[in-house]
Every structure is written in C-alpha cells, then in structure tokens.
Amino acid sequence: MKANGLKRAHWTRMVQSGYGKDVLLEILRKDHTLIQRHRRSYIFYAYVSLQEKPQISKNELYAYFTPYVSAARKLSAYVGMNPGNKCRLQINETVEVTL
C-alpha cells in the first residue's frame, strides 16, 4: 500500500497466554508472517498484509489468526492438561507505520 508515494505497513500487537507460545510463533513463521518478539516473551508484533484494504477490524484479525491458534492448541495439548491453560491470543492494537 502507498499513501502519498510512501509505503504503509500494518503491525498487530498480540498477547499470547497459556501453553503453546513457541508452537504458535513457529506456525506463524512458516506462513511468512513476520514476528518480532517484545522484551516479554508473551507479547509480539505480527505483520499482516492488508492487500490494498485500508483498515481491518479486530474481528477480521481474530478470524485470520484463529486457524493458527487452533493448530497451536492441538500441538501443545497433553493428557491431563488443565483446559484453562490452552493457547489463547488477545489482539491489543494495530499500528500503521509509514515508511
């Protein structure tokens, strides 16, 4: 995307909780979603290509990331695991950066 000849990048700040953080990040990296970890390992930023779409809602982002979280849940589950500790993802904000 370009605005006044400048490129725009959209980054989404997310918080992962429960088991499966490393599995989730590995799955996201396989699909070429760029990840940058924050100092605290459960917070990360993901690049989301919007393909000429100027805005994206949180619901659309959740729908986009749901298959990744589901896969991480399946891969990180173990017998006797407390169901409350399953992998969860919270989307905090989307930041638009002009380059």
Reply yes or no on domain 2-98 having CATH 3.10.450. Answer: no
Q: Distances from the Cα of 42 to the Cαs of 12, 36, 71, 87, 95, in angstroms?
A: 14, 11, 18, 11, 18
Nearest CA-CA partner of 17 in 40, 39, 1: 40
Contacts of 81 (CB under 8 A, 6+ apart): 19
**Regions in the chain scoring below 70 on pLDDT:** 1-9, 32-41, 49-54, 99
The predicted pLDDT at position 81 comes to 87
Predicted model pTM:
0.76
The predicted pLDDT at position 1 comes to 47
The predicted pLDDT at position 60 comes to 84
The predicted pLDDT at position 48 comes to 75
